[in-house]
Structure 1
Amino acid sequence: MHHLRPTAIAGLLMVLVPSAAALSSCGFDYPTDRVSTIAAGQNNRDASVDALGIRVLATATGEGRLIGSLANNLKDPASLVDVSGEGLTVNIAEPIEVAGRGGVNLVDQPQVSISGKFTAGDVIDLVLTFDTDETISLEVPVVKPCFQYSEVPTEAAEEGAAADAAADEELIEQTGESESAHGEESGDATFVCDHETPHAEEGGH
């Protein structure tokens, strides 16, 4: 009878153990089978309508709008009917309907404006209520209108732009120069976008 030497047995085990581990994981936990989570903002999948990447975009201290996405898991339409938070005033002009098995980007919907004691960098508690008799609670980050948020329309930004234009026109009439000619920045420094959007470095460094 032939017997395997101890060194041969050890070598055989080294080959078999990794193979068994690899086989035991086959067919399970593929990355494509996992739920995709939007990194920026707050997510909640506890209700029939998923709230994804929910943020408050602020253009000034105490003023902002709700942004993010809603995804309806039902066959029938569902609507966001109310947004609330302690110490906050929220204006939702009309329910935001999400088609059955569909989704909406809140940026493309009538603005849900929010005012209260907050500024960029804060996290505030919001409760979203749907016509499915479901509510969800979120701890929502407050972001400023820089980089990818710079093109998102807000009521405060529109009003501020109109006021700045009127003030600039008045200054030109009085002095012959506009405020921008002095190269001065005004307003809350919290909302100054003083860095360019970062890009990946070239050359593989």
Structure 2
Amino acid sequence: MPHLRRSALAGLLLAVVPATALGGCGFDYPTDRVNTIAGGVNDRSGDVDALGIRVLATAQGEGRLIGSLSNNLRETASLDAVSSSAGITAGAFEPVEVAGRGTVNLATAAVVPLTGDFTAGDVVPLELTFSDGTTLSLDVPVVKPCFQYTQVPTDLPSEDRSASAKATDGEAADVAAEEEGDEAHAEETGDATFNCADQAPEPESAH
């Protein structure tokens, strides 16, 4: 008789444990959640997802927008404007078209030049406006052209270059001397704003 009781108890435990384990599971599995590994900021609230958005600084106060745009619509959409409340201006660029259900890599497909009061290491507010009227407000990190970012073209349109590039010969010489002095000062003070030596490479998938 005790043997039968033990067998019945074991059967009851086998029946209860799976039910308890299943009862603890929900529908929001971690593996079902979106996980975009990137060094930038993501926003999926609009019809066009902004993924891994960063500003690649090519010099003090000068750079370009990089990251990816992914269109959730069946029809073509486009990034029409980039603006900021922090004194950052986007230079002239053609609307960046994203095919329906398609993706565009801003680092290779389009140049959106930016100028203003920013440098590597900053986080700047940007507004991305799309053809459907949606505007995404993002706090975007500014990165320096190190490691994997050296593969991104940094040649900006001539009209968007800094004032030093447009100076006369005499002014250009003054600017060059000033920049040389700044570089020397940076070496003395250990300013690593654009120094790549102290920055570890990011995974290749972070582009």
Rounded to whole Å, the distance in 2 between the matches of 1:99 and 1:133 is: 17
How far does residue 38 in structure 1 lie from its aligned partner after superposition? 3.2
- Partners of 2:14 and 2:21 lie apart in 1 by 11
Question: TM-score normalized by structure 1?
Answer: 0.71
**Which of 193, 197, 203 does residue 194 from structure 1 map onto?**
197
In structure 2, relative to structure 1, the CA distance for the partners of 1:28 and 1:155 (3 Å cut) is same
Q: How does 1:28-47 map to 2 (within 5 A)?
A: 28-47=27-46
Residue 85 of structure 1 corresponds to 84
Q: Does 1:55 align with 2:54?
A: yes
Matched with 2:103 is 103
Q: Are the counterparts in 1 of residues 108 and 152 from structure 2 also a CA contact under 8 Å?
A: no
Superposed CA deviations along residues 70-110 of structure 1, whole A, max 9, x for unmatched, are: 00000100000000002111114110000001110001223
Provide the aligned length of Structure 1 versus Structure 2.
176
Indicate how the Cα distance of structure 1 residues 19 and 191 shifts in structure 2: closer, same or farther if over 3 A, else same.
same
| Percent identical residues | 58
Gaps of 5+ in 1: 164-183, 201-205
Q: CA RMSD in A?
A: 3.6
**Distance in 2 separating the partners of 1:105 and 1:26:** 38
Tell me what 2:71 maps to: 72
SS of the residue corresponding to residue 190 of structure 1 reads coil
Distance 1:62 1:12, change over 3 A: farther
Match of 1:135 in 2: 135
When the two structures are superposed, what TM-score results if normalisation uses the length of structure 2?
Answer: 0.70
Q: Would the alpha carbon gap of residues 110 and 198 (structure 1) be closer, same or farther in structure 2, given more than 3 Å must change?
A: closer
Matched letter for residue 58 of structure 1? A
- Larger fraction in helix: 2
CA contact (8 A) 2:84 2:127 kept: yes
Contact 1:58 1:144 in 2 (8 A): yes
3-state secondary structure, aligned to 1:150:
helix
List gaps (5 residues or longer) in structure 2: 166-183
Distance change (3 Å), C-alpha of 1:198 and 1:81: closer
Partner residue in 2 for 1:172: none
Aligned with 2:74: secondary structure? Answer: coil
SS of residue paired to 2:193: helix
Q: Any conservation in 1 of the 2:148–2:201 contact (CA below 8 Å)?
A: no
Could you tell me whether the CA contact under 8 Å between 2:48 and 2:69 is conserved in 1? Answer: yes
> How much has 1:189 moved relative to structure 2?
3.5
Could you tell me how far apart the structure 2 residues matched to 1:155 and 1:57 are?
Answer: 12
Distance 2:95 2:114 in 1: 15
SS in 2 for 1:149: helix
- Cα distance in 2 for partners of 1:137, 1:192 equals 30
